[in-house]
Amino acid sequence: MRSDNDNWLSNAREGMSRRQFLAAASSTRVTLAGFAIASNPVAGEVITTATTGLNAADGTVMVNGFPVPTYTARPAGDGRYPIILVIPEVWGMHEHIKDMTRRFAQAGYLAATFEPYAREGGTKQLPEQAQVMKVANSVPDAQVMADLDAVLAAAKQLPSARHDRVGVTGFCRGGMYTLLYSAQNPEVKAAVPWYGTIKPAITPGIRTFGPLDVAGKINAAVLGLYGGADQGIRVADVKEMEQALAKAGKTAEFVIYPDAPHAFNADYRASYRPEAAKDAWVRCVAWFDKYLQA
């Protein structure tokens, strides 16, 4: 079985063009402040979503006496909006994840994300990927699930929240958590994992099962978005997950972009593939619209 590390390290600089390299080396128009250092951000591709028309703010939720940092964005106008939980990569709640949260808000959702690695001091400031993985791999899945419960509970308290319309999405490690949380929380009606590990390493005290093991417990409609050139997640594993959900009678669709590597939606990294990312985003929003906006 491949380790979680393969998902992150194998695609770190894949496909970096001369233009991207030069942009990373000397950009005067785009700042990389707020991005994870070890992710090798590339300034020339960064997408920035404005807060115009949104209410966006940092905050905290208390989980077992610890203040977990959060970020919430929603349309500024009157109304009630479905909730989407946005689960970060191993880089944590850095600028890209906040930007994705704003994108969902611009699409008409109350979106909320959080810092899964706050108790460990965070990961975005760490300079080496090995350091990042050491922290991320030390966090029990149960802790992340409890954090998600708290973030969702806080979102529900907002007057603009539609309590009965809950979706979840996540990227890479967050994609795996998307599937695990959808199996744990029956309130989740729609889930969109982006290149989330299907067969993660099992570690006593950290992780006792993976998404494939709990496929039958997922009640949410699942849209999986994966790269066919991902060196850390086999296409065969993705198809096995899709088949397991179908066998269990679940609503699921998995899209594989043949030439896309891992993290193809990460516009701040060399792995970014604009065509795949744009198509996946359209599919993602349409999926949530179908199952959450009715």
> Which positions are annotated as active-site residues?
172, 230, 262
Separation CA 100–CA 227 (nearest Å): 19
For residue 237, give the amino acid letter.
D
- Backbone φ and ψ of 266, nearest 5°: -75, 90
> Can you say whether the dihedral through the CA atoms of 144, 165, 171, 28 is positive or negative?
negative
Query: What per-residue string of b and e applies to 89-125 under the rule 16 or more CB within 10 Å gives b?
Result: bbbbbbbbbbbbbbbbbbbbbbbbbbbbbbbeebbbe
Separation CA 87–CA 92 (nearest Å): 9
Cβ burial of 67 (10 Å; 0-12, 13-18, 19+) is: exposed
Separation CA 287–CA 251 (nearest Å): 11
Distances (CA, A) of 199 to 172, 180, 196, 214, 240: 12, 12, 9, 11, 10
Determine contact, residues 250/222, Cβ cutoff 8 Å. yes
Separation CA 101–CA 121 (nearest Å): 22
